[in-house]
Structure 1
Amino acid sequence: MHVYLFTLPVAMAKLKLYYDLMSQPSRAVYIFLKVNNIPFEAIQIAIRNGEHRKPTYTKITLFQQVPVIDDDGFILTESVAILQYICMKYKLAEHWYPLATPETHARVQEYLNWQHANIRFHGTMLFRILFRLPQETKQPVNKAEAEDCRERNKAVVRHLDQYFLKDKNFLCGREISIADLLAVCELMQLHVVDEVNIVHQNDRVREWFSRVKDRLGSAFDAGHKIVYKVHDLYKSTLKSEIARL
């Protein structure tokens, strides 16, 4: 009599993503998971309601920020680290986070380091000046600060054009990478406050933006559904209300 021993396959724990789609880095990770068909449990953390400060979330991350992933007990913060981890853990296409070619890898790393004090900082500041501060303080927009910030964002777009893109289809080479994904999510923050013309005025950056959006497909719109709604609300109501302050 033969006895056959076998074990049933153990289901892999689904990746958990803690996110808020008003957060640029959250959108990048959310879109990336969808584009690459990686199953995940989406757990929304509404920053506007202070959910990131609740004790239950603080147990997950002391930083009280989004995005955060929990991959079967492995907790990771910071969008750049999360995207890099996903690329390597799930063995995604090399173009997303190039490792084999030192020069291309270095270009992606260059952008990832450059972005924080440039595209992210200045885009967030314009959003804050035109949207958040007037709502929080009930004070009118500081027009001088807003115009100065617009000029800084225009400079960022010029740098994308003249340094990163030049004659390439994407920021760091011939193929899309996580640098392009992070960049478009940052620039979409300008769309919320009806300032995306800063991007559209530059032909090469406008074409690149459209190219990246096409490559991301339906995941792009899924990740920006809240941005579209807030933009429509801002343009139809909030912009005029803020102007009357």
Structure 2
Amino acid sequence: MKLYVVSDGPPSLAVRMALKALDIPYDLVDVDFIAMEHMTDDYAKMNPQKEIPVLDDDGFYLSESIAILQYLCDKYRPDSNLYPKDPKQRAIVNQRLCFNMAFYYGSIAPYVMAPIFFDYKRDPVGLKKLNIALNVFETYLKRGGTKYAASDHLTIADFPLISATICLEAIDFSLKDYPLIEQWYSTFKSEYPELWEISEGGMKVISDFEKNPPDMSNFSHPIHPVKKN
């Protein structure tokens, strides 16, 4: 099994945490985002979306981190409580996974990550969307009354939510107005230090890029406007 990743990519970090938590052996393959290795024809054979990560399970190629998380549990650890079998419990996990992709990280990435790599600015509209997403997550934690995002125990729903939240820590965004998120985040760090170590490494890379933006002058993208140094 091989996992193609980018070192600071939250979706990549989420899958790496799951593989470690599930104790599944694999080879890590770093993809150089700035060198555009993900935009090559060879990479497109694995993932026509040309996005990262991609799982290669003995010639079975799977993209989209949520699908990868679900697949790993279903195939290799079907009895793991990281992905519960009870329909209602699993539905909550699936909902949190979708919430992160479409709403939570969907608000964090444009505000934090895009301005680091592309010619975007952090503006009041982006900040408002981010705070709306944080408020919703805070509400889920309050209504659920659980220690983790979807249960009183860790599930695969926590991995992408954690790896999204590291982006905020990387730019020193305070979570003081969101005490339940702050508590959930610190609880994960203290209870799962070996998993946190994976996300912390990515967070430090993002933090370094925030302070010293990478040279993207030779980078080209079909949609995003590229910074010119």
Cross-structure match for 1:202: 178
Task: Answer yes or no: is 1:220 the counterpart of 2:196.
Answer: yes
Deviation at 1:232, TM superposition (A): 4.0
Query: Normalising by structure 1, what TM-score?
Result: 0.78
- Could you tell me whether the CA contact under 8 Å between 1:192 and 1:230 is conserved in 2? yes
> Once the two structures are superposed, what CA deviation does each residue of 1:189-240 show, in whole Å capped at 9, x if it has no partner?
2233332x1x3431111011112233432232234314313414534x56xx
Task: Answer yes or no: is 1:173 the counterpart of 2:151.
Answer: yes
Match of 2:27 among 11, 30, 41: 41
Cross-structure match for 2:58: 72
Letter in 2 for 1:30: R
Letter in 2 for 1:172: A
Cross-structure match for 2:162: 184
Instruction: Name the SS of the counterpart of 1:194 in structure 2.
Output: coil
Deviation at 1:40, TM superposition (A): 0.6
Cross-structure match for 2:18: 32
- Could you tell me whether the CA contact under 8 Å between 1:28 and 1:181 is conserved in 2? yes
Cross-structure match for 1:229: 205
- Could you tell me whether the CA contact under 8 Å between 1:169 and 1:208 is conserved in 2? yes
Task: Answer yes or no: is 1:132 the counterpart of 2:117.
Answer: yes
Q: What percentage of aligned pairs have identical amino acids?
A: 24
Relative to structure 1, is the Cα distance of residues 93 and 190 closer, same or farther in structure 2, using a 3 angstrom cutoff? Answer: farther
Deviation at 1:93, TM superposition (A): 4.9
Structure 2: which 5+ residue stretches go unaligned? 214-228
- Could you tell me whether the CA contact under 8 Å between 1:130 and 1:193 is conserved in 2? no
Cross-structure match for 1:116: 101
CA-atom RMSD in angstroms: 2.2
Aligned residues: 213
Letter in 1 for 2:81: H
Relative to structure 1, is the Cα distance of residues 77 and 84 closer, same or farther in structure 2, using a 3 angstrom cutoff? Answer: same
- Distance in 2, matches of 1:225 and 1:16, equals 20
Query: Normalising by structure 2, what TM-score?
Result: 0.83
- Could you tell me whether the CA contact under 8 Å between 1:27 and 1:224 is conserved in 2? no
Task: Answer yes or no: is 1:147 the counterpart of 2:124.
Answer: yes
Task: Answer yes or no: is 1:88 the counterpart of 2:74.
Answer: yes
Letter in 2 for 1:221: E
- Could you tell me whether the CA contact under 8 Å between 2:7 and 2:205 is conserved in 1? no
Relative to structure 1, is the Cα distance of residues 78 and 231 closer, same or farther in structure 2, using a 3 angstrom cutoff? Answer: same
Structure 1: which 5+ residue stretches go unaligned? 1-14, 239-244
